[in-house]
Amino acid sequence: MDVKKTSRLSLVEQVTGQINELIKSGQWAVGYRLPPEPLLSEELGVSRNTLREAIRALVHSGLIVTKPGDGTYVISSSVLGVAIKRRLEESTLLETLEVRNALERETAALAALRRTKSEMQRIQSYLTVCEKAAKANDLESYVEADMALHKSIAEAAHNPLFLELYEHVTEYVHMSIGNMIALYEQLPHRKLVQAIHEKNSILAASAVDEYIEEFRKIIKSTMEE
C-alpha cells in the first residue's frame, strides 16, 4: 500500500512540499498571511506539531516568516530566489552586474528571434511609457516602466528558466542600488526595441551592451561620491 511511500517521504516533507507548491504557484502570494496553525493543520490533515515543523523548515529556507502573536507571512515565492539573493549578498555590485549583463544580453538576443506580434506590441507600449516618464522627469514611474520593459523582453525570449534567473538577479540589483539610478539616455532602449522589432539578435545584443556600459558608468561615478 502506501506504507513504503510514506516511509520514503516523511509527513513533514509532504506538508513542506504542499505549502511550497501553494507559494510557488502564486495561490499564496508574497505578503499573504497563512491561516492560523490549528486551522491549517486540520485542513492538511496533520497534527499541529507536524505542521509547525514544516513551517520551521520553510522559515529556514527563507520563504516565510513567523511573527509571534501575529501570524506567519509569505515573504518570497522561490527558494532559488532566496538562494541567489543570499549568494549575491556576498558579492560586489560590479560582479553581480556582469552576471546580469550576460543574462540580459542573451534574453534580448533570443527575444529578437522569438518574439510574437503581441509581445512586440507590449514591448513597444512599455517603451513609450518609459520615454514619457523620462521626459516628465518622473523617476518613480520611469523605474517602474523600465523594469516592466525589460521583463517583457525577457518573457519574449520564451525560456522560463532564463526569465526566472534574470528576474532574481535584477531584483537584487534594483534593491541594492535603490533609487540612485538616474534617468539615463534613452537612445539605447530605442535601439534595443527596434532590433527586436527587426528580429535582429546581433543588434539587440550590442544594444544591451551599450546601455549596460552607460549604466556601469553611472554606478561607478555614484560610488566615487
Partner DNA sequence: CACGATTTGTACGTATGTATG
Partner DNA sequence: ACATACATACGTACAAATCGT
Q: Which is nearer to DNA, 7 or 27 (CB)?
A: 7
50 belongs to the binding site for a second copy (CB under 8 A): no
220 belongs to the binding site for a second copy (CB under 8 A): no
Cell of 175: 534593491
Query: Which residue from 80, 88, 39 is spatially nearest to 61, judged by alpha carbons?
Result: 80
Cell of 72: 506567519
Shortest separation between residue 145's beta carbon and a second copy, angstroms: 25
Residues 71, 31: contact at Cβ < 8 Å? Answer: no
Distance CA 189, CA 167 (A): 18
Q: Which of 16, 23, 28, 55 binds DNA (CB under 7 A)?
A: 55
Shortest separation between residue 157's beta carbon and a second copy, angstroms: 8
Which CA distances in Å does 191 have to 16, 146, 198? 46, 14, 10
Q: Between vectors from CA 201 to CA 199 and to CA 203, what angle results, nearest 5°?
A: 100
Applying CB under 7 A, which part among 40-48, 80-88, 191-199, 202-210 lies near DNA? 40-48
- Residue 71 sits at φ, ψ, to 5 deg, of 165, -175
80 belongs to the binding site for a second copy (CB under 8 A): yes
Q: Reduce the DSSP state of residue 65 to 3 states and report it.
A: strand
Cell of 40: 491549517
61 belongs to the binding site for DNA (CB under 7 A): no
Q: Which is nearer to a second copy, 56 or 199 (CB)?
A: 56
105 belongs to the binding site for a second copy (CB under 8 A): yes
Distance CA 103, CA 108 (A): 9
Q: Which is nearer to DNA, 20 or 107 (CB)?
A: 20
Cell of 162: 532564463
Show contacts with a second copy in window 150-179 (CB under 8 A).
159-162, 164-165
Q: Which of 1, 60, 68, 92 binds DNA (CB under 7 A)?
A: 68
Residues 196, 101: contact at Cβ < 8 Å? Answer: no
Q: Which of 18, 25, 49, 221 binds DNA (CB under 7 A)?
A: 49
Binding residues for a second copy, rule: CB under 8 A, are 13, 16, 53, 56-57, 60-61, 79-80, 82-84, 86-88, 91, 95-96, 98-99, 101-103, 105-106, 110, 159-162, 164-165
Which positions touch DNA (CB under 7 A)? 3, 6-7, 10-12, 34, 36-38, 45-50, 52, 55-56, 66-72
